[in-house]
Amino acid sequence: MAHFKTPLLTKSYVVNFLISLLLYLTMYLLIVVITQYTVNQYHVSDSLAGLVMGLFIVGSLLGRFMIGRFINVIGPKKILVIGLIAFILTQCLYFFEGSLIFLMVTRLLNGFALAIATTATGTIVALISPVDRRAEGISLFSLSLVVGAAVGPFVGLLLSHIYPTVVLFVLCVIIAFIALFMSFTLHIDFTVEPLRAEDKQFKLSQFVSIPALPIASVILVCGLGYASVLSFIQIYAETLNLVTVASYYFIAYAIASVITRPIVGKIMDRYNENKIAYPALILFCLSLITLAVVTTSTGWLLLISGALLGVGYGSMTAVCNVAAIKVSDKDKMGIATSTFYIGLDFGLGFGPFALGFLTSSVGFSKMYAVTAFILVLCIGLYWMVHGRHIQARGQEK
């Protein structure tokens, strides 16, 4: 008798994917223009402008800490709508030319709102994906972040050379409104749970999934590795006179991710996370080593590094997301998803700050070599906190 798989790409799945894509597109679009906007508008130093950019991540961390516990109480769809409305309102604050402090508060609130919305979309995909295809569903869904991170900066840089920054602010508001209208078409089978008396007490487990914290430490380290590329690849390319080639770095990253991500999810569903995690971490290390050895005459290595990063880091985000949900209780999907993103945001947010000290003392090439070594250690970290606990298929939780 033929075996038919439960459909994965339902209407709600596709809509949820597109909402997440639009959110990340606006996030990364603004990331590449907000620093220069701050310098030009308020005549501040590059370091202070970098702080303004980074406050978005701080707001995102606060949002993820706060919202996870309310997913089951309010429901993921309502949380998503609330997050999208808050995101639109905070996007509108960019139109007010106040003080630098006002812009800082705007970035903080904007990050907080995005965290609410993306935590909701991350929870929704885990809920609507068939149990036997959950890893595949989460893996495919994470492409929304990959594509948003590749297309957003490209669109932002392209339009910033043609139009004033206020036009980009308008575009982001329009995109957010489209995402809000799309959210009303979502259909999710979910029963809200009343807030229990013990949940009203202040406990760490109300904000993060304790079982998911170990795997969150893995994605934190991976986020630090990715931050080394995201933050310094452009400056590094300028020192090597490879700016033109570097502009295609994240295109190679996105193409490699799109090609491999569906396969990654299917392998995890059929076997387990270990089948992906160890090769992915090795490829991640090779990506950074490739960056460390690139020279002006070997600029093509940048594209190889981008492709390796897409397979390595891209696969690890899917692995850690799936693992965080797997080790947590079924009624803690929202908090588990939030915990995963908290680890990722910590790595992305504080990685550039820590690695910045390293680049100033040893240079970019050695910084990438050191970061690659940290990723080698991360292989051992993954084995210790998660990999060694995975049993043969059929005995997994």
| pLDDT (average), residues 158-167 | 86
pLDDT score of 75 more than 60: yes
Report the alpha-carbon distance of residue 325 to residue 124 in Å, rounded. 12
Contacts of 70 (CB under 8 A, 6+ apart): 79, 334
pLDDT in tens, 207-241: 788 889 999 999 999 999 988 887 778 778 888 88
The pLDDT of residue 397: 43
The pLDDT of residue 1: 42
The pLDDT of residue 306: 92
For the ranges 174-183, 208-217, 311-320, the one whose mean pLDDT is highest: 174-183
Which is higher by pLDDT, 270 or 117? 117
The pLDDT of residue 197: 57
Residues in the chain, how many? 397
What pTM did the predictor assign? 0.80
The pLDDT of residue 392: 43
- Percent helix / strand / coil, the chain, rounded to 5: 85, 0, 15
For the ranges 94-108, 121-135, 171-185, 190-204, the one whose mean pLDDT is highest: 171-185
Q: Mapping DSSP to helix (H, G, I), strand (E, B) and coil, where does residue 94 land?
A: helix
Report the alpha-carbon distance of residue 123 to residue 76 in Å, rounded. 7
Which of the four pLDDT bands, split at 50, 70 and 90, describes residue 47?
A: low
Report the alpha-carbon distance of residue 357 to residue 374 in Å, rounded. 16
The pLDDT of residue 373: 96
**Burial zone of 96 (CB within 10 Å; 0-12 exposed, 13-18 middle, 19+ buried):** exposed
Residue ranges of domains in the chain, CATH in brackets: 11-186 (1.20.1250.20), 203-397 (1.20.1250.20)
4 — phi, psi (to 5°)? -105, 125
Which is higher by pLDDT, 289 or 254? 289
Report the alpha-carbon distance of residue 172 to residue 113 in Å, rounded. 14
Q: Which of 322, 141, 346, 110 minimizes the C-alpha distance to 226? A: 346
Instruction: Indicate the residue type of 169.
Output: F
| pLDDT (average), residues 242-267 | 85
Of 89-93, 118-122, 246-250, 300-304, least confident by mean pLDDT is 246-250
| pLDDT (average), residues 29-37 | 80
Buried b (16+ CB within 10 A) or exposed e, 279-301: ebbebbbbbbbbbbebeeeebeb
Evaluate whether 346 touches 223 at the Cβ level (below 8 Å).
yes
pLDDT score of 380 more than 80: yes
